[in-house]
Amino acid sequence: MFYRDERLALFIDGSNLYAAAKALGFDIDYKLLRTEFMRRGKLLRAFYYTALLENEEYSPIRPLVDWLNYNGYHMRTKPAKEFTDSMGRRKIKGNMDIELAVDAMELAPNVDHIVIFSGDGDFRPVVESLQRQGVRVSVVSTIRSNPPMIADELRRQCDNFIELDELRDVIGRPARPDTGIGTFEDTESL
């Protein structure tokens, strides 16, 4: 539930939201997403978190990052780390959990409601702390994918769970062929 006069902030875990939308078969239209939450309350900030491969000549996520940066989103990026796993496969890790948590804690005194776009169970203690500070917390993810993209403990902790699939008609567009955006594998999963 949202109140039109409450001060809102959005915290988007880019790779987690991408994976959830992909599992449901649609892409996120970030212009529509921002517009929808401006309609739901007084949107103070919309943060987007992602890791970037810096040594690649072309990063498929760069156009999205640039567009978001010019269209009202506060970008939080850092270099992704590349490594080889025990099976000899190339893996890329780009966890932005700490950055998101720190920003949410710093902004908490200035907002009434925080919306976290992630199903990562690591955010449960952050949600609990925000609630102790009097901030309502909604989490956007999905239980309709197989397996569900939201950790049960996060879903139980938040004040309001928003099923991403129910936002499809408001913030979605048909999925395009995989562009590689959001393919960073986070070895710390749900």
Look at residue 189 in the predicted model and tell me its pLDDT: 33
0.95 exceeded by the pTM? no
Q: What is the distance between the alpha carbons of residues 126 and 153, in angstroms, rounded to a whole number?
A: 12
Spacing of C-alpha 101 from chain mean position: 12
177 — phi, psi (to 5°)?
-55, 150
Look at residue 87 in the predicted model and tell me its pLDDT: 87
Q: For the domain bounded by 7-174, which CATH number is listed?
A: 3.40.50.1010
Look at residue 95 in the predicted model and tell me its pLDDT: 84
Orientation angle between helical segments 97-107 and 124-132, nearest 10 degrees: 10
12: Cβ contacts below 8 Å, ≥ 6 apart: 46, 47, 48, 49, 73, 117, 118
Look at residue 190 in the predicted model and tell me its pLDDT: 32
- Cα-Cα-Cα-Cα dihedral sign, residues 24, 93, 76, 148: positive
Six-digit token string for 102: 């720190």
Instruction: Name the strand (E) or helix (H) holding 49.
Output: strand 42-52
Residue ranges in the chain whose pLDDT is less than 50: 180-190
Amino acid at 114: I
Look at residue 177 in the predicted model and tell me its pLDDT: 64
Give residue limits of the domains in the chain.
7-174
Residue 93, strand partner residues: 81
- Alpha helix segments (H runs only) across the chain: 14-24, 30-40, 62-70, 97-107, 124-132, 152-157, 168-171
Q: What is the distance between the alpha carbons of residues 6 and 149, in angstroms, rounded to a whole number?
A: 28
Six-digit token string for 79: 């270099």
